[in-house]
Chains A and B, each alone.
With several copies, the nearest count.
Chain A
Amino acid sequence: MDPVAATHFVMQLYVLVLSALIGLEVIAKVPVLLHTPLMSGSNAISGIVLVGAITLGCGAESSLARLLANGAVFLATVNVVGGFVVTDRMLSMFRKQTPKARDGQKGSEGKT
């Protein structure tokens, strides 16, 4: 690799490692209740490959590359949009439960 590309690659690695550290740190303690929405929410984020698909679609000249790009745009959009919609739907149901843990405990204390 020429030095410019190598330097760039090193910077990419920094971004990779730092982002991973943030990912590890942020999900340190999640209540079980939120595992499913967190899964589907982060699934929607991983649809970020949509950005890659757009980049490809904008730069591609051969029809094969364009086809692949448009296919990727379609698939990734389903992933992104569906993911966020379904997560929101799930969370809207949890919302009613949000104070559950607290109230639930209060309730049980009251009863004991």
Chain B
Amino acid sequence: MLINVNTWASVLHGALLVAGVGFVLCLKLLASPRTARQGNAIGALAMLLACGATLAQAQPDVGAIRAMLVAAAAGAVVGVITGRRVHMTAMPQLVAVFNGLGGAASVFVAGGELVRWGGHAGGALQLNPIGEIGPALALSAWAGAWVGGLTFSGSLIAFGKLQGLLSSQPVCIPKGRIAVCLTLLLLLGAGGAMVIAPKSLLLFGIVVVIAEILGILLTLPIGGADMPVVISLLNAYSGLAALACGFVVNSPLLILSGSLVGASGIILTRLMCQAMNRSLANVVFGAFGAATQQTSGQDGKEMKEFSPLDTAMLLRNAERVIVVPGYGLAVSQGQRAVREIADVLKQQGTQVVYAVHPVAGRMPGHMNVLLAEADVPYDDLLDLEAVNPEFLHTDVTLIVGANDVVNPAARDDPSSPLAGMPILHADKSRAVIVFKRGKGRGFAGVENPLFTADNAHVVFGDAKQSLTAVASHLKQL
């Protein structure tokens, strides 16, 4: 009988360890296109296993189980519905929200453990049956509180900016740097106090509040377009918050997973910055200094306007066409109109391909998702290296809501803020037609000489509307 109990306990411990290995496997598989979906499924299974084993291990009373099941069921419903319903283009803000919730959960867990310490020693303090809370434990609760709190408020700001609830412009907080330093100092002080009085709920609450403020201070000055990077960073933080909670509730699985996600999240953030040719420091602290944007020398040239009919006629006579989709296409949701045009052109024997820049749009892989939604065959999507030599032999390049990714200044002008970013050489094609609403700039806020070039014409207006007009003209011609 004793052996049975022991065996069962071992099985549960083993199950938790297996779940940890599952998370490692999940990340590993997620990092390769062929296996990514499998990896995600393995991660979900591992999570289920971890929850089941934890429940079995703790053997809670029926009341507790019922309450938790209700909470979990409600959470699952909300999760599934939002996860299913949300628009593909709203993905970054969704991840931001989820992230924030995770951070908040960490705060709750650390706080709840603190409440228990205040009551009497149990559960997590098995190892320390005297009930005295050592500095390591106190500091873990502190870290869980502030990292989790910062993740929560930071994620909500990020969500607000991406969703358009807040201005997506970088907000320059007066004396922002000083305020950040001050809150950091306060946090450190509160940490010291928590070591001395680890059971004080008041202290804990103060830490959480300061952390929320810090999250806002840090995120508000960052422009909406940089948000994917910020979200990735906050994602790493939410891992670190879970890690801290792992020490608080004494769970090696939490430590494992939190550390895993924290480390890989930081690397991923770096990779994302590299893909956008920015440094992380620049993203996070860029707006603190001067939020003014460069208004580089306009060379006095004006954009030449084109009507949808002009465009349709030009396309009728083209043999090779390349479509360059960008952020504006996502905004206007015009991907189906694009495909319609491509279909008509293909029927008349024109070759049509899409040039997909890795950081076109506002999240990595944005254009791939968008075009996949409109059933564009994947054979037609060419990446940077494949498509760049093609522009030379191309009659018409359609630039649909893209800007920075086709800015020749990135290639030709070493003083441009974009300098060094690989671009699509759309300017090399015989004719360029740009779909945009007005004289708006791209994410980098830089003038684009391509739009005023001799071979370029602009169709003003919302991309979806202009494209639909072009398509109907094409069909009538």
Taking Cβ atoms with an 8 Å cutoff, the residues of A that contact B are 1-62, 64-66, 68-101, 103-105, 107-108, 111-112
- A30, B382: Cα distance in complex, Å: 18
In the complex, chain A residues whose CB is within 8 Å of the CB of B124: 55, 59
B286 proximal to A (CB < 8 A): no
A37 to chain B, nearest CB (A): 6
Known: A70-B68, A77-B72, A100-B378. A52 touches B99 (CB 8 A): no
Determine the residue in chain B with the shortest Cβ distance to A88: B40
What residues of chain B lie closer than 8 Å to A26, measured between beta carbons? 24, 27-28, 31, 264
Do A39 and B268 touch (CB < 8 A)?
Answer: yes
Interface size on B, residues (CB 8 A): 135
Per-position binary interface string of chain B over residues 73-94, scored 1 when its CB falls under 8 Å from any chain A CB and 0 otherwise = 0111011101110101001101
Q: How far, in whole Å, are A19 and B372 apart by their CA atoms in the complex?
A: 35
Residue ranges of B at the interface with A (Cβ–Cβ < 8 Å): 6, 9, 13, 17, 20-21, 23-24, 26-28, 30-34, 36-37, 39-41, 43-44, 47, 50-51, 54-55, 58-60, 64, 67-68, 70-72, 74-76, 78-80, 82-84, 86, 88, 91-92, 94-95, 98-99, 101-102, 104-106, 108-109, 111-113, 115-116, 118-119, 122-124, 126-128, 130, 134-136, 228, 231-232, 235, 238-239, 241-243, 245-265, 267-268, 271-272, 275, 351, 353, 358-359, 363-366, 368-369, 372-373, 378-383, 386-387, 389-390
Do the beta carbons of B386 and A108 come within 8 Å of each other? yes
List of A residues within 8 angstroms of B363 by Cβ: 35-36
Which chain B residue shows the least CB distance to A107? B379
Most chain A CB within 10 A, of B71, B111, B112, B373, is at B112
| Known contacts A59-B123, A77-B75, then 14 further A-B pairs from the complex at CB < 8 Å, ordered by chain A residue | A4-B127, A17-B21, A24-B264, A27-B31, A33-B33, A35-B268, A52-B242, A53-B109, A55-B54, A72-B109, A79-B105, A90-B88, A94-B365, A101-B33
Given the known A-B contacts A42-B30, A59-B124, are A82 and B386 also in contact in the complex, defined by CB atoms under 8 Å? no
The closest CB in chain A to the CB of B235 belongs to: A43
**Chain B residue nearest in CB terms to A55:** B249
Report the separation of the CA atoms of residues A11 and B34 in the bound assembly, to the nearest whole angstrom: 34
Among candidates A2, A8, A37, residue contacting B365 with C-beta atoms closer than 8 Å = A37
Instruction: Compute how far the CA of A3 lies from the CA of B257 in the bound complex, rounded to whole angstroms.
Output: 24
Residue numbers in A under 8 Å from B27 (CB-CB): 23, 26-27, 38, 41-42, 45
| Cross-interface CB contact of A86 among B6, B13, B95, B257, cutoff 8 Å | B95
